[in-house]
């Protein structure tokens, strides 16, 4: 299935990247709106509107898309993973990133109806991310890994997830 999707790699990555940017905008809407309200209150240069929030959300999505590409390259280099096709893994990571962002965005909708759950941001992030990381591993394992290399990839993925999630908690980013 992945091979059929990736026949036209540039179009597939463009569509997946666009969906990723839009889903990240949906996921981070509350945080972007809060940032813009703080900024407009202190500087008074930007009027808050739907389009400005959407613009900054999609811009943040494109920046995170570029960072995801670099982090995945770094992940492959640090953990000496050379036997997997990077293009396919990047596409699979984007697909599961879109699913994670949509689930997290739906969970974050509760912020608008019950503002006291904003404190649960890290719990929502954890609840949305862990299943997607496990499904990502399952997909990569089924398509590309042999029984000998699967434990190394799983260990590497767990270490990378723990480091990224710990950095997210320490630096205060609820859904990076």
pLDDT tens digits for range 15-72: 999 999 999 999 888 888 877 777 776 666 666 778 888 898 999 999 999 999 999 9
Of 72, 89, 87, 77, nearest in space to 144 by CA: 89
pTM of the full structure: 0.86
Of 56, 5, 63, nearest in space to 32 by CA: 56
pLDDT of res. 14: 92
Distance CA 163, CA 117 (A): 25
More confident of the two residues 174 and 58: 58
pLDDT of res. 44: 66
Distance CA 13, CA 15 (A): 5
Distance CA 19, CA 22 (A): 5
Distance CA 124, CA 30 (A): 14
Contact 85, 10 (CB under 8 A): no
Percent of all residues in the chain with a pLDDT value above 90, rounded to a whole number = 44
Residues 6+ apart with CB under 8 A from 140: 84, 89, 92, 153
pLDDT of res. 4: 74
Instruction: Please give the backbone phi and psi of residue 174, each rounded to the nearest 5 degrees, phi first.
Output: -70, -35
């Amino acid at each position: 299935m992945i091979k059929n999707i990736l026949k036209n790699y540039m179009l597939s990555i463009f569509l997946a990247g666009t969906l990723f940017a839009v889903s990240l905008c949906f996921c981070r809407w509350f945080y972007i709106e809060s940032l813009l309200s703080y900024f407009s209150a202190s500087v008074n240069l930007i009027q808050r509107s739907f389009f400005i929030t959407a613009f900054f959300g999609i811009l943040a999505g494109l920046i995170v898309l570029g960072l995801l590409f670099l982090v995945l390259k770094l992940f492959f280099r640090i953990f000496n993973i050379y036997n997997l096709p990077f293009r396919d893994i990047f596409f699979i990571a984007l697909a599961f990133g879109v699913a994670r962002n949509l689930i997290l965005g739906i969970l974050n909708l509760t912020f608008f109806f019950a503002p006291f759950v904003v404190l649960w941001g890290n719990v929502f992030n954890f609840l949305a991310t862990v299943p997607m990381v496990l499904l990502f591993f399952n997909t990569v394992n089924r398509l590309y890994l042999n029984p000998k290399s699967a434990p190394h990839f799983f260990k590497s993925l767990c270490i990378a997830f723990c480091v990224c999630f710990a950095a997210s908690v320490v630096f205060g980013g609820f859904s990076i």
